[in-house]
Every structure is written in C-alpha cells, then in structure tokens.
C-alpha cells in the first residue's frame, strides 16, 4: 500500500478536530439555545489550532479528509440528538 493511501494519525486528528465545534452548533440549533460569544470563540480557536497543526504536518487537504469531515458532521448530529433525547426521555431509557 502506497504512502498516499495510508492516513497518518495527525491528519485524522485534524479531520476530526471540528467535532467539538460541530456538536454545540447542532445542539444550539436543536435546542434553540444561544451559547456565549466566549464559548464560540474558544471552540473555534481550539478547532482551528488542531486543524492548522494537522495541515502543517500532513500537507494539504485530500479526498479522505473531506470524507472524514462528512463523517464528523454526521457523528456530531448524532451526539447532539442523543443529548436532546436524553433530556426528554431520560438517559437510562435512551441507552
């Protein structure tokens, strides 16, 4: 298997870095809540730092990175919806 077909850990870490940012975006949208500006600023800064590190250590964006970003978006929606349902029906019933 060639080097270009293998995904290094730094690249995958960079691809999944937006997950902590995507979850509250979906959660705010689903629950109609508005987190503080300081929360958003720190979430964006943290994700940007990890993404920048991954891009610096692994080169530019590749097709696999875009697929990982789609997976992160779908996973974040699942986390946010699970939290919303746990609040409505109780965690023990959700599991």
The pLDDT tens digits of the residues spanning 57-79 come to 666 667 777 888 888 889 999 98
Q: How far is CA 73 from the centre of its chain?
A: 6
- State the residue range of the domain holding 65: 14-94
Q: How many domains is the chain built from?
A: 1
Q: How many CB atoms lie within 10 A of CB 64?
A: 15
Question: Per-residue pLDDT for 42 more than 70?
Answer: yes
d(CA 54, CA 14): 5
Is residue 1 domain-resident? Answer: no
Is residue 2 domain-resident? Answer: no
pTM for this prediction: 0.69
Phi-psi region of 48 (alpha: psi -120 to 50; beta: other; left: phi over 0): alpha
DSSP state of 7: P
Is residue 6 domain-resident? Answer: no
Token couple for 24: 């509250």
Is residue 4 domain-resident? Answer: no
d(CA 39, CA 29): 15
- pLDDT in the model for residue 95: 75
Is residue 46 domain-resident? Answer: yes
Is residue 52 domain-resident? Answer: yes
Is residue 3 domain-resident? Answer: no
């Amino acid at each position: 298997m060639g080097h270009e077909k293998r995904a290094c850990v730094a690249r995958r870490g960079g691809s999944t870095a937006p997950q902590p940012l995507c979850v509250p975006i979906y959660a705010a949208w689903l629950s109609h809540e508005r987190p503080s500006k300081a929360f958003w600023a720190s979430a964006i800064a943290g994700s940007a730092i990890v993404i920048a590190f991954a891009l610096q250590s692994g080169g530019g964006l590749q097709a696999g990175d875009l697929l990982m970003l789609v997976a992160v978006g779908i996973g974040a929606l699942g986390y946010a919806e699970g939290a919303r349902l746990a609040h409505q029906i109780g965690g023990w019933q959700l599991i």
